Chains A and B, each alone.
Chain A
């Protein structure tokens, strides 16, 4: 196995294009190294992107944000402005594993690992985050929910990798939230995750909403029905009940060791309700 630590995106793209056999980009390595140790994957080459200085920064991109693919979850948590703008996304990143894991784990890695239960993905999808992809033919952007094809599978082509994650501008009266359910309190994997972002009008009526469900389908589910339950309401009890029902209906979980179908559907509703309340209150604070 070969290990590369390029100093620029260009070099990384080149290495990814030329390396033989199974090549893996490595960011924090908190998924990759664990899988290698367990004998689940045996890469022929690893391209470590942590030495690329530009990817270790959080910068403003217009009125939005660009989070380099090598920025750790802990670094996101320390960026006060980012945290103020998109607390749901930052909180999702800061749910990953434990303090130690967050010191290395990245949200780009969380996305590219393509686990149905990835915590930051529904949070990112809810706020409309985009992945900036570098490749031999230059860069392109895709919505994060479009990057993942299925468990463990992405739409990235040979020589491509995610350079950064872009979060949009946080407008007035917008609020986001992410909640997940785990049987323990940390070091666990989401049984269900719900990311919600909503925008209120001056009177407190919901103008727009995005609801993303994690761990209840092969990829993140963006539920238009759930969003519809909120739009046009003041996000009152009746709207929240409708939201919970919609999320329970839209969730397509499987029965497995982490929970039964009925359980996960029920929890999707409960969490959506709780997340919507947080997002609503944040939007109000931001008016």
Chain B
């Protein structure tokens, strides 16, 4: 179902955009021909394995690798000594990929081995002796903030305070966003509710573990094959860490089995390169699932206080929130995004969100789909739900009443452009789901969510081939179907069938720099660049036609895949198709190509409303999701199937996060569930079909109106599900995950 609000400015007819064309990577993926990170091998290749700290926090007194070095088949061993000076901006990454003075979390890399086989490498790891002095540790965010908490980094002095403290602590930074006077606003309210919420750390749960092959030649030139969301980032980071010229490292991105933000940084890649540098042989590394969970980048756990005031008519008079996120052993949790995004759906006079970035003895968090936003939304949308319930108001009507709209001042500062939140709420209100009957122990919840979306540095190359087909090279790994969408946009612009364009992810030597695939930016930014590259090529195609016809170029127009004379004055010439011109390219001036290098601006923000029905078993605390509908603004759905896939994927990951996923640490600071048996992502039988409604409020910042859709879909689910379960269980849930033991506890049954 598509809802298309009347927005004349952007209305246009498309031939290909908006169609569900076949998936270009589909056959490769179902036949096993697609090459993922672990599918690459090279002649003379070694296997690399990492030795990891079993301690949450320990001083590394000595590492003795002598025995391991002597083992037959071992070619190289690296420790932090092999990572020399680097730019300040890379210091934390350098320490995260290989511990230096201290191991900062269970699973922190302390050494790595390259050997002729995995079993030799495994044996070698056992021969490395590390002398640890175990230190007190802290893994909980609230505990880490206490004045008497073990200090993880004695050079960390809280930023963002009026006065920088003299004592180090685990609090890295304070952020504040908002406007108006919240205290005044609370006085105007008829009801004020204040609650504290907690969420646990979750992992993106991508099916493909991190994998790479690094090959550093004796001539100082290297190549890497990497499963990543950004091979340009891998190149620049690895080059920076190991003192290699950027031009001497060429990185190719493999097919990718999921990333969701978790592959926007490096873990084993610089280690593989360091091993290769030392061994003078290619080195392959593949993380096990246990390593992925212990030592890649999960999301933050959080603890959040929210206070919101509402009038009897549903007007929100003020909102105040304090968000505390632990982002692992290094500063940089996503708390500022959480604090910026949490109140964004509402046009509020008085609003404040304070964020605290906290470090703890856990793996350094990485991006996870709308990083930081789901937890903030969970807390705010829960309190709004409770206010609606107490004041006997309809939760959709209240949200419509307070919703941000075109031009309203966002809680985090700027004024919104054209936005589609109200359209998603209207669509939700008019959907049959909203009126469907519920049974015993069943409940319904709704929640809204917001994400910024991003543009960023992008470079695209479009080559017109001799047979009239087109090769389109982009530099943003395809994690959600972007090759189809970008190729279709180029085909649309050129006026040729979609299957005449083949879009590939080119290596780092073939294109200008591209930011990583993140921020829901790829269909927007690489798509925009592809459109501009197509226009660039069209200009050149017209020049060639002009040359063939012997008329000035401004007398040629491009229409429906053909060069035509602009008017009868230009002479009578049969239109020339792209293929006609391509066939003569050699004779008319050589290859024809279009390019575009931009720092894409104008990424339109995106909003969603989710609606979910659940059933709670009051005896066991088990929650079943019965029905789920996503309403989200896509701007323009270039390929609706992929857009729906993003909506469904976000909802499903949200269901996992809300119900069962959590990092469980024991008292000694070790992760207890580093595997998919006890780290419970939903399986198919846990889920209903996720229904989707694509709302299209075109983004004026994109030639076709595209908004990113990849991240917003994970923002509302935590809240929507919690509101639904609270409705079913008749008790307000304030803690995630809503696993059976936690639900039973909330019900007072245990």
Contacts and interface: CB of A to CB of B under 8 A. Distances in A.
Contacts of B673: 257
**Interface residues on chain B, size class:** 20 to 34
Nearest to B122: A39
A263 B664 contact: no
B672 A257 contact: yes
Contact of A181 (B620, B660, B750): B620
A263 B740 contact: yes
B568 to A, nearest CB: 69
Interface in A251-279: 256-260, 262-263, 266-267, 270
A184 B664 contact: no
Interface string B730-750: 000000000111001000011
A21 interface: no
A187 B744 contact: no
B744 A263 contact: yes
B456 to A, nearest CB: 38
A186 B622 CA distance: 13
B164 interface: no
A53 B664 CA distance: 45
Interface string B585-629: 000000000000000000000000000000000011010000000
B179 interface: no
Contact of A262 (B620, B664, B685, B750): B750
Contacts of B660: 183-184
A183 B740 contact: yes
B24 to A, nearest CB: 29
Contact of B680 (A184, A262, A266): A184
Nearest to B742: A263
Contact of A260 (B622, B659, B677, B741): B741
B682 interface: yes
A260 B621 CA distance: 13
A267 B745 CA distance: 13
A188 interface: yes
Most chain A CB within 10 A, of B122, B620, B664, B672, is at: B620
Given A257-B678, A263-B744, A186 B685 contact: yes
A188 B673 CA distance: 13
B686 A185 contact: yes
Contacts of A162: none
A56 B293 CA distance: 39
Nearest to A264: B741
Nearest to A183: B660
B750 A263 contact: yes
A278 B660 CA distance: 28
Nearest to A244: B619
B683 interface: yes
Contacts of B664: 257
A258 B678 contact: yes
A147 interface: no
A189 interface: yes
Interface in A189-208: 189, 191
Given A185-B685, A185-B686, A266 B622 contact: no
Contacts of A259: 740-741
Nearest to A265: B750
Interface in B213-237: none
B683 A266 contact: no
A33 B273 CA distance: 32
Given A39-B122, A185-B686, A257-B673, 6 more contacts: A181-B620, A184-B682, A187-B683, A259-B740, A259-B741, A270-B619
Interface of A: 38-39, 181, 183-189, 191, 256-260, 262-263, 266-267, 270
Interface of B: 122, 288, 290, 619-620, 622, 659-660, 664, 672-673, 677-678, 680, 682-683, 685-686, 739-741, 744, 749-750
19 contacts: A38-B288, A38-B290, A181-B622, A183-B659, A184-B682, A184-B683, A185-B685, A186-B683, A188-B677, A189-B677, A257-B673, A257-B678, A258-B678, A260-B741, A263-B750, A266-B749, A267-B620, A270-B619, A270-B620
Closest 5 CB pairs of A and B: A185-B685, A263-B741, A257-B672, A262-B750, A270-B619
